[in-house]
């Protein structure tokens, strides 16, 4: 009964989505407020129905209802409870349902937090989101119904969840990542509404920024989590593989980051209007493209999701309608958004333009590298794969360029700056940073690597500018501490996010260059040394998990004869899927990780073992978290609290208010 209830809820949701996608439009066209508000109530009902459907699926998983095909495929009665719940989004059908649920949650959030926005704007935004939801609902109901039954011949037990996904990281990673992906639909809807209405002003940009920021924060967190998961779960010790699935989430992030910066210029100075619209459309389009790439299987990757060409065609048609449609609208309407502000070469506008240019190129680099094998296949250039060297070769200079620009942020004002003063201010910082960047690794690592020096050079340059800026702001204040507290959340959030970038870059540079990796043959009682750590294999034992058996190694780590820690890497064999899994053991630290994973048993009592020394690897994810946290602080800024703003002020800058008449 319960699965049918869920299915029924989805069909009802389709109905309400249809209403939400049409009636408010008529309201906007005829200026009837009563029809426009329908959008809000529909959004609520739709959300409720999605929650019911999702709850039904969770119920089916928790109660081992193997008559449901999706449950039988992704769960097992022996699976621990927390994984039974996360298995809900462990496969295709459930992920898409989660995606749709999150989309409807964002829609409801818009309905709640847009009390003070002009009614036409809200109605248009909710309508656009309903159209997207409609696409996903049709997709679920016609190609990926999670409630399909296996009657009358159903299995006694399920096929179990892919062991790779039986992990904490995979419980939280997809929901957070989807929050980011789908969150860009809000700013996308705002952009479409602006194009439809033909108006775009700084109030519009101000409404868009918090939505973009929240989505961006989730995406940042989601990507960091994914990288962390790959690091400890895949057993290769890598943190980024430039794998198609990773790139699929990275492209919307890059476009979203560009959008954040371009929105700032649009809000403050009314420039880059059509460019901002294009980025808003792109960020969400890349999210859809990512879904297509992952779900259709046109590109295969280490994540190797099961896939189905029929679903691929559906998403591609949907993608073409959404992106093609919005870009057509863009082509027709974007020309009328003129910017009247002027700015000089040395200005914040140019700085943000540079940022956007570099980020767009970065997006193009990732897209070209990801899709090139597909191009090659179609044009018969042979079977090709694009390796990490391609991405690294292009990406590192781009990041260095972005950091160079980032250093100017505190110095640069809007409109125009005195170029010679700028040089005078920047030069000492640049020189000092370069000296430190050369001396520090020289002193600590005793070997110089050009990339580390360049990365540190840029990091110290930005850091010095951030610190000087803070110092200058507090210099003439009577109570510096008080003054610090009085600074806007915008300032703190932005500085923290930029600081996060620095932490991430330090982590990436040092880990990539100074990591030590050793594959060795290890006997019981034997040992291996890397850096100044010694790993001793004490014993091996067989252990029994709830749905797997494993060999566990007992390894003691010594640093110059002093005991550091014990590590227990495992090689598991999951009984249902007959799939071996490497569970790495990690001793984490702020300045270094020790990482050990079991390879394969060799003859006798020895094992092939992989040992890593990974300096500063934690900084990568710490940087990601700081960036996301910085973004959240910015949202606290007064000027984004439009929900509780007085009607008066919203009318004074909301030019759409008069539109209904």
**Footprint on residues 102-161 left by another protein (CB under 8 A):** 150, 153, 155, 159
Q: How far apart are the C-alpha atoms of 564 and 567, rounded to whole Å?
A: 10
Closest C-alpha among 401, 392, 415 to residue 355: 401
User: Is the distance from CB of 126 to CB of 20 less than 8 angstroms?
Assistant: yes
Tally the residues of the chain: 661
DSSP per-residue letters across 111-154: HHHTTTS-HHHHHHHHHHHHHHHHHHHHHHHHH--TT-B--SS-
User: Residue 532, Cβ neighbours under 10 Å: how many?
Assistant: 9
Q: What tokens does 64 get?
A: 């081992």
Query: To the nearest whole angstrom, how small is the minimum distance from the Cβ of residue 230 to another protein?
Result: 12
The CA distance from 634 to 484, in Å, is 15
Instruction: Please pick, from the candidates 80, 198, 309, 525, the single residue that binds another protein as defined by CB under 8 A.
Output: 309
Query: Is the separation of the CB atoms in 456 and 440 below 8 Å?
Result: yes
> In the bound complex, what is the minimum distance in angstroms from residue 384's beta carbon to another protein?
5
Q: Which of 49, 88, 100, 353 binds another protein (CB under 8 A)?
A: 353
Interaction of residue 600 with another protein, rule CB under 8 A: yes
When asked if residue 365 is in the footprint of another protein (CB under 8 A), the reply is yes
404: enclosing H helix or E strand: helix 388-407
- Residue that is written with structure tokens 């619209």 in the block: 277
Which range in 197-205, 262-270, 363-371, 486-494 contacts another protein by CB under 8 A? Answer: 363-371
Under the binding rule (CB under 8 A), the answer on residue 312 touching another protein is yes
Nearest-CA neighbor of 94 among 46, 129, 145, 47?
A: 145
Q: Considering the complex, what minimum distance in angstroms separates the CB of residue 406 from another protein?
A: 17
In the complex with another protein, the residue whose CB is nearer, 376 or 632, is: 376
Q: Is residue 478 at the binding interface for another protein, with CB under 8 A as the rule?
A: no
Site string for another protein, 525-554 (x = CB under 8 A): ------------------------------
Structure tokens at 70: 């999706």
202 token code pair: 């700084």
**Residue 327 DSSP symbol:** H
3-state secondary structure of 359: helix
Residue 296 found at the interface with another protein (CB under 8 A)? yes
Q: Which of 484, 519, 639, 649 binds another protein (CB under 8 A)?
A: 519
Q: Any residues with CB less than 8 A from the CB of 152 and at least 6 apart, and which?
A: none
- 579 contributes a contact to another protein by CB under 8 A: yes
DSSP structure string for 439-489: HHHHHHHSS--HHHHHHHHHHHHHHHHHHHHHHHHHHT-SSHHHHHHHS-H
Handedness of CA 536, 542, 545, 550 (dihedral sign): positive
Q: Which is nearer to another protein, 162 or 266 (CB)?
A: 162
Stretch that binds another protein, among 37-45, 373-381, 430-438, 504-512 (CB under 8 A): 373-381
Q: Give, as ranges, the residues between 197 and 256 that touch another protein (CB under 8 A).
A: 235
Residue with tokens 């989309």: 103
Confirm or reject binding of residue 394 to another protein (CB under 8 A). Answer: yes
450 near another protein, judged by CB under 8 A = no
CB of 16 to another protein, least distance (A): 30
Measured CA to CA, the distance from residue 234 to residue 302 in angstroms comes to: 10
Considering only residues 313 to 342 of the shown chain, the ones binding another protein according to CB under 8 A are 313, 316, 319-320, 323-324, 327-328, 330-332, 334-335, 342
Among 15, 422, 520, 635, binds another protein (CB under 8 A): 520
Nearest partner of 287 among 158, 391, 154, 187, judged by Cα? 187
Out of 278, 501, 509, 594, the only residue in the binding site for another protein (CB under 8 A) is 278
The CB-of-545 to another protein minimum distance in angstroms stands at: 16
Pick the closer one to another protein by CB: 15 or 371: 371
Q: How far is the CB of 13 from another protein (least distance, A)?
A: 26
C-alpha torsion angle, residues 134, 135, 138, 142 (rounded to 10)? -170
| Touching another protein, residues 397-416 (CB under 8 A) | 397
User: Side-chain half-sphere of 35: how many Cα atoms within 13 Å?
Assistant: 16
Rank residues 72 and 132 by Cβ distance to another protein and give the closer one.
72
Taking the least distance from each CB to another protein, the nearer of 577 and 660 is 577
- Residue in 14, 138, 371, 632 binding another protein, rule: CB under 8 A: 371
Q: Which of 175, 270, 297, 480 binds another protein (CB under 8 A)?
A: 297
Give how many residues touch another protein by CB under 8 A.
Answer: 85
Within positions 2 to 61, which residues make up the interface with another protein, using CB under 8 A?
A: none
Contact status: 98 vs another protein (CB under 8 A): no
How far is the C-alpha of 258 from the C-alpha of 363, rounded, in Å?
Answer: 10
In this chain, which of 115, 449, 582, 651 binds another protein, going by CB under 8 A? 582
Rounded-to-10 torsion of CA 202, 207, 211, 217: 50
For residues 46 and 162, which CB has a smaller minimum distance to another protein in the complex?
A: 162
- Choice from 12, 138, 368, 564 touching another protein (CB under 8 A): 368
In the bound complex, what is the minimum distance in angstroms from residue 519's beta carbon to another protein?
Answer: 4
CB of 580 to another protein, least distance (A): 4
Nearest to 596 by CA among 580, 608, 605: 608
Give min distance, CB of 536 to another protein, in A: 19
Residue closer to another protein (CB basis): 173 or 610:
610
Q: Can residue 196 be called a binding residue for another protein (CB under 8 A)?
A: no
């Amino acid at each position: 009964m319960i699965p049918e209830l869920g299915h029924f809820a989805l069909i009802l949701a389709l109905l309400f989505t249809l209403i939400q996608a049409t009636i408010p439009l008529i309201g906007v066209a005829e200026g009837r407020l009563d029809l426009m508000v329908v959008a809000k109530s529909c959004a609520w009902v739709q959300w409720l129905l999605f929650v019911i459907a999702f709850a039904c699926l969770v119920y089916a998983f928790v109660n081992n209802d193997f008559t449901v095909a999706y449950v039988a495929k992704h769960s097992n009665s022996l699976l621990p409870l927390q994984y039974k719940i996360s298995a809900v989004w462990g496969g295709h059908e459930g992920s898409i349902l989660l995606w749709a649920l999150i989309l409807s949650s964002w829609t409801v959030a818009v309905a709640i937090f847009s009390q003070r926005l002009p009614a036409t704007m809200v109605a248009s935004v909710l309508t656009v989101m309903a159209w997207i939801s409609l696409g996903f609902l049709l997709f679920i109901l016609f190609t990926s119904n999670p409630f399909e039954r296996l009657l009358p011949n159903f299995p006694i037990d399920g096929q179990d969840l892919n062991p790779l996904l039986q992990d904490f990281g995979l419980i939280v990673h997809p929901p957070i990542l989807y929050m980011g992906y789908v969150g860009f639909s809000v700013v996308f809807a705002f952009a479409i509404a602006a194009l439809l209405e033909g108006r775009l002003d700084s109030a519009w940009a101000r409404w868009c920024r918090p939505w973009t920021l929240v989505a961006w924060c989730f995406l940042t967190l989601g990507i960091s989590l994914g990288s962390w998961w790959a690091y400890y779960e895949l057993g290769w010790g890598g943190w980024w593989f430039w794998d198609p699935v990773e790139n699929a989430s990275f492209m919307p992030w890059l476009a979203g980051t560009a959008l954040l910066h371009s929105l700032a210029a649009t809000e403050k100075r009314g420039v880059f209007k059509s460019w901002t619209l294009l980025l808003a459309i792109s960020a969400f389009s890349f999210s859809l493209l990512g879904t297509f790439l992952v779900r259709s299987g046109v590109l295969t990757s280490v994540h190797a999701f099961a896939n189905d060409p029929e679903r691929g065609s559906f998403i591609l048609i949907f993608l073409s309608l959404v992106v093609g449609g919005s870009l057509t609208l863009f082509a027709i309407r974007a020309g009328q958004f003129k910017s009247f502000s002027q700015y000089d070469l040395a200005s914040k506008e140019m700085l943000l333009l540079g940022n956007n240019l570099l980020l767009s190129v970065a997006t193009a680099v990732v897209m070209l590298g990801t899709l090139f094998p597909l191009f090659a296949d179609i044009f018969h250039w042979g079977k090709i794969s694009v390796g990490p060297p391609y991405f690294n070769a292009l990406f590192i200079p781009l990041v260095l360029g972005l950091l160079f620009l980032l250093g100017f942020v505190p110095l640069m004002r809007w409109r125009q700056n005195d170029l010679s003063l700028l040089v005078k201010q920047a030069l000492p910082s640049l020189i000092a940073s370069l000296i430190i960047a050369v001396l520090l690794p020289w002193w600590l690592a005793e070997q110089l690597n050009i990339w580390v020096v360049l990365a540190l050079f840029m990091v110290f340059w930005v850091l010095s500018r951030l610190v000087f800026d803070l110092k200058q702001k507090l210099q003439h204040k009577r109570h510096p501490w008080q003054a610090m507290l009085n600074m806007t959340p915008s300032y703190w959030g932005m500085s923290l996010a930029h600081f996060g970038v620095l932490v991430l870059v330090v982590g990436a540079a040092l880990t990539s260059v100074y990591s030590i990796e050793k594959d060795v043959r290890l006997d019981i009682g034997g040992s291996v040394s890397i850096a100044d750590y010694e790993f001793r294999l004490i014993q091996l034992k067989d252990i029994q998990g709830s749905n797997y058996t494993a060999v566990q190694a007992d390894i003691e780590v010594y640093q110059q004869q002093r005991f550091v820690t014990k590590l227990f890497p495992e090689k598991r064999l999951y009984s249902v899927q007959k799939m071996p899994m490497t569970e790495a053991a990690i001793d984490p630290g702020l300045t270094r990780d020790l990482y050990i994973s079991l390879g394969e048993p060799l003859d006798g009592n020895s094992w092939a073992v992989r040992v890593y020394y990974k300096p500063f690897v934690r900084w990568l994810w710490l940087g990601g978290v700081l960036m996301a946290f910085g973004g959240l602080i910015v949202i606290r800024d007064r000027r984004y609290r439009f929900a509780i703003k007085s009607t008066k002020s919203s009318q004074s800058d909301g030019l759409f208010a008069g539109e209904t008449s």
